[in-house]
A and B are shown apart, each in its own frame.
Chain A
Amino acid sequence: MKIAVLIKQVPDTWSDRKIDAATKRVDRTKDQVVDEINEKAVEVGLQLKEAQGGEVTVVTMGPSGAIEAIRKTLAMGADDGIHIVDDSFGGSDAMQTSAALAAALKDKGFDLIIAGNESTDGRTAAVPAMLAERLGLSQLTFLRTLEVKDAIASGERMLPNGHAVVSASLPAVVSVTEQIAEARYPNFKGILAAKKKPVESLALSSLALEADRVGGANSWSVVETVTPKPPREGGTIIKDDGSAGKQLAEYLAKANLI
């Protein structure tokens, strides 16, 4: 089975994440990590490969530093990588990201493309569905379980109030939620091996995309203004003296909240 896993490098959620006021883009200059959900997606790909044979290719679109994300997931055990990297891609929206990923993935014969359900920086949760649309593949998204058997993939799709059991034939685009698996840590051997694994670098010129359709200047969604949140006013904090439960009820009743 030929498996592609889509990984994204994002600002660490523990860091002070910022949107640059001048460019109106996410500041990607420091504290970059592989999005946790994508490590889980890689884990799913590796488990399928271990059980059924095949190859796992990790794919990312991102600045030159995103090679670190590729190396880390190669160290987990992926076989090779594709890095879509070109300055003209900066500021891409979900429409453009999915277009670039589709251009890089099409005709490569992947049976399964595995993504995270939602990135922690953009949080659009749109790229996997858009990719399915662009590549004409069925989508099995928001899965908390995944099974692949006889070229049919199925699993439980998480919904706000429960779940749905879904199924489709391969090739397909899958997206996974946090519950799907715990990601393995790369070991020393894996880290050494990762340095020698092949990574294909794809620039705009090697993709079937027109230059006037990519990047922030041509994005479909255009950020107009960015405003940092004003600091929240300090509230009332009380120490329980044995009547805090009653005091809370009074406070909420006065505010007409209960």
Chain B
Amino acid sequence: MSKVLVLAEITNGAPAAATAEQLTAAAILGEPCAVVVGKDASKLAPALGKLGATTVYSAEVAGDELLVTPQVAALAAAARDSNASAVIVGSSPDAREAGARLAVRIGGAYQSDVIGLSKDGIVTQQAFGGAFTVTASGKGVQVISLREHSVEGSAPAAAGEVIKLDIASDSTPATKVLSREVATTASARPSLAAADIVVSGGRGLGSKEKFALMEELADTLGAALGASRAAVDAGYCEHNMQVGQTGTTVSPNLYIAVGISGAIQHLAGMQSSKTIVAINKDANSPIFDIADFGVVGDLFEVVPQFIEAVKARKNG
């Protein structure tokens, strides 16, 4: 069976949930192996083995953090060593760009934003915000960027045997990462791409102060918090929270759109959500065309009552 590499993502010293999913996807295509880059990279091998990695390629790096290029060097070295038939990376900018450069370096198709894959190597993608579903095959070593929530199940636990990579000789011109800052509002909540429930607020919220209602809603449901571009542009919230064509694409189990009209660019980023709820005072808003459950009403009355009802259920 041919080997399939996964670029492991680490959060708080452990493999990210997305990495478990990527290893599951790798097991569909072949034998899952992980590639991990960072300080003390090989310490993660047992955890990655549990998630299905038979081999863990580890590249320890010291010194300044560099953007993307160490990951590309490690993946390229691991691909050479393992003769891998495919490589799976995540959906963050870091992961996507490592994948894109790798495809150039080792010669292969780069498949962006994949939402499904089959064992013959056919990937499923969406175009124009879900208006079209596309399947594609790839030549060379397929490099697949996998959207979160795309593959179910888990891979059988494996040995996670460590192979150390030496990428010190990589001379690619590098970009230094001087610092990383996590938005304070984002840190306590699940990330948009990974959340089971996403609640998004639009211009209908009316002001930054009133947008706090959305935070309360998100925290009541344990949801990620998103927004329309109009809400972001009006300064109600951070830009990273934008859902849509030029923001994050989400496909959670439940999406609740509050005070959002449902412009085509917003729909492009959320219409593949499994259940869609809309709250809007204008019955003609296009968001109702795609809603499974719509409430025509004033969000400032509906949402607080909804929050109370949810809390009552939890307590009772």
Binding site for B on A (CB under 8 A): 13-14, 17, 19, 24, 26, 36-37, 93-95, 98, 117-118, 120-127, 129-130, 132-134, 136-142, 144, 154, 157-169, 172, 177-179, 219-229, 232, 235-240, 242-253, 255, 257-258
B180 contacts A162, C-beta separation under 8 Å: yes
Q: A228 vs B128: C-alpha distance in the bound complex, in angstroms?
A: 10
Q: A120 vs B129: C-alpha distance in the bound complex, in angstroms?
A: 10
Lowest 7 CB-CB distances: which A-B pairs, in order? Answer: A245-B305, A240-B297, A249-B309, A126-B100, A245-B306, A220-B109, A129-B97
Q: A221-B136, A245-B302, A249-B309 are in contact. Are A140 and B104 (CB under 8 A)?
A: no
Which residue of chain B is the closest to A169 with respect to CB atoms? Answer: B173
- Interface SS of chain A: mixed
A257 contacts B197, C-beta separation under 8 Å: yes
B302 contacts A240, C-beta separation under 8 Å: yes
A93 contacts B183, C-beta separation under 8 Å: no
Report A207 CB to chain B, min CB distance, Å.
Answer: 17
- With most chain A CB atoms within 10 A of its CB, the pick from B105, B172, B175, B176 is B175
B134 contacts A226, C-beta separation under 8 Å: yes
A126 contacts B173, C-beta separation under 8 Å: no
Q: Is B1 an interface residue (CB 8 A)?
A: no
Q: Is B174 an interface residue (CB 8 A)?
A: yes
Q: Is B80 an interface residue (CB 8 A)?
A: no
Choice from A126, A158, A166, A252 contacting B96 with Cβ under 8 Å: A126
B294 contacts A245, C-beta separation under 8 Å: no
Q: Is B30 an interface residue (CB 8 A)?
A: no
B101 contacts A161, C-beta separation under 8 Å: no
A244 contacts B97, C-beta separation under 8 Å: no
Q: A252 vs B130: C-alpha distance in the bound complex, in angstroms?
A: 24
- With most chain B CB atoms within 10 A of its CB, the pick from A124, A236, A250 is A124
A133 contacts B176, C-beta separation under 8 Å: no
Choice from A13, A122, A168 contacting B264 with Cβ under 8 Å: A13
Report B111 CB to chain A, min CB distance, Å.
Answer: 6
Choice from A117, A157, A238 contacting B296 with Cβ under 8 Å: A238
Q: A100 vs B101: C-alpha distance in the bound complex, in angstroms?
A: 15
Set of chain B residues within 8 Å of A37, measured between Cβ atoms: 246
A253 contacts B313, C-beta separation under 8 Å: yes
Set of chain A residues within 8 Å of B289, measured between Cβ atoms: 232
Q: Is B113 an interface residue (CB 8 A)?
A: yes
B180 contacts A164, C-beta separation under 8 Å: yes
A245 contacts B301, C-beta separation under 8 Å: yes
Set of chain B residues within 8 Å of A249, measured between Cβ atoms: 306, 309-310, 313
A159 contacts B131, C-beta separation under 8 Å: no
Report B218 CB to chain A, min CB distance, Å.
Answer: 13
Q: Is B254 an interface residue (CB 8 A)?
A: yes
Report A173 CB to chain B, min CB distance, Å.
Answer: 10
Interface string of B167-200 (1 = CB under 8 A from A): 0000011111111111100110001110001000
B180 contacts A159, C-beta separation under 8 Å: yes
Which of B137-145, B149-157, B206-214 faces chain A? B137-145
Q: A243 vs B304: C-alpha distance in the bound complex, in angstroms?
A: 11
Count how many chain B residues have C-beta atoms less than 8 Å from C-beta atoms of the other chain: 92
A246 contacts B109, C-beta separation under 8 Å: no
Report B222 CB to chain A, min CB distance, Å.
Answer: 9
Q: A117 vs B92: C-alpha distance in the bound complex, in angstroms?
A: 13
A229 contacts B265, C-beta separation under 8 Å: no
14 of the cross-chain contacts (CB-CB < 8 Å) are: A14-B264, A93-B109, A130-B103, A138-B174, A144-B239, A164-B179, A172-B173, A235-B290, A236-B294, A237-B291, A240-B296, A240-B301, A240-B302, A252-B254
B303 contacts A140, C-beta separation under 8 Å: no
Set of chain B residues within 8 Å of A227, measured between Cβ atoms: 132-134
- From residue 259 to 285 of chain B, which have CB atoms closer than 8 A to chain A? 264-265, 268, 271, 275-277, 279, 283
Q: A14 vs B266: C-alpha distance in the bound complex, in angstroms?
A: 11
Set of chain B residues within 8 Å of A245, measured between Cβ atoms: 295, 301-309
Q: A228 vs B133: C-alpha distance in the bound complex, in angstroms?
A: 6
Report B89 CB to chain A, min CB distance, Å.
Answer: 11
Q: A227 vs B131: C-alpha distance in the bound complex, in angstroms?
A: 9
**Can you name 13 extra interface pairs (CB under 8 A) apart from A160-B192, A169-B173, A238-B293?**
A95-B104, A130-B103, A136-B172, A154-B178, A158-B239, A162-B186, A165-B178, A166-B177, A223-B136, A226-B133, A237-B291, A244-B297, A258-B197
Set of chain A residues within 8 Å of B305, measured between Cβ atoms: 243-246
Interface string of B224-235 (1 = CB under 8 A from A): 000001000000
